Amino acid sequence: MYDFDKLISRKGTDSIKYDLRNTIFGTEEVLPMWVADMDFETPDFIREAVKTRAEHPIYGYTFRSDSYYQANIDWFKKQYDWEIEKDWIVFTPGIVPALNMAVLALTNRGDKIIVQPPVYHPFFTAVSNHNRELVNNELIREDGT
């Protein structure tokens, strides 16, 4: 069982969201709630896999092996009962490059793209950086909810 209640201080670890709060927000009195930078301890099996790989003396270029693709295929089947194919999978180094690639691949200059705030800031910049028109689809508050 994983302990989601365990608090681990990240101050002094060169953490952008903690050590740069004053630089980014102008105050330390902010609760940084970021998308991909969670404050949960990395599970032991992941830390062990990283250690095992780090013990090899050469860090060269790698490729996506068949097991990488199969893990994705199996995950989609288990999570969504959706059978995907290997050639549908495109590797990206992160969500921000993926957003930008999607905008470039699926739209043209001047196209309108809907973004529904509140949302991760790179959704906006992926639109504006590539000369597309941002259309905000604001949430509507009804009856206090």
Report pLDDT for 50. 97
Report pLDDT for 98. 96
The identity of residue 141, as a single letter, is: R
Report pLDDT for 25. 86
- Tell me the whole-structure pTM to 2 decimals: 0.65
Torsion sign over Cα 110, 114, 119, 120: negative
For 30, the token pair is: 């902010």
CB 52 within 8 A of CB 46: no
Report pLDDT for 31. 84
For residues 78 and 104, give the distance between their C-alpha atoms in angstroms, rounded to a whole number: 30
* SS3 (DSSP) at 44: helix
Strand partners, 134: 113
Q: List the domains of the chain with CATH numbers.
A: 1-56 (3.90.1150.10), 61-89 (no CATH), 92-145 (no CATH)
Report pLDDT for 83. 98
**Which parts of the chain register pLDDT below 50?**
none
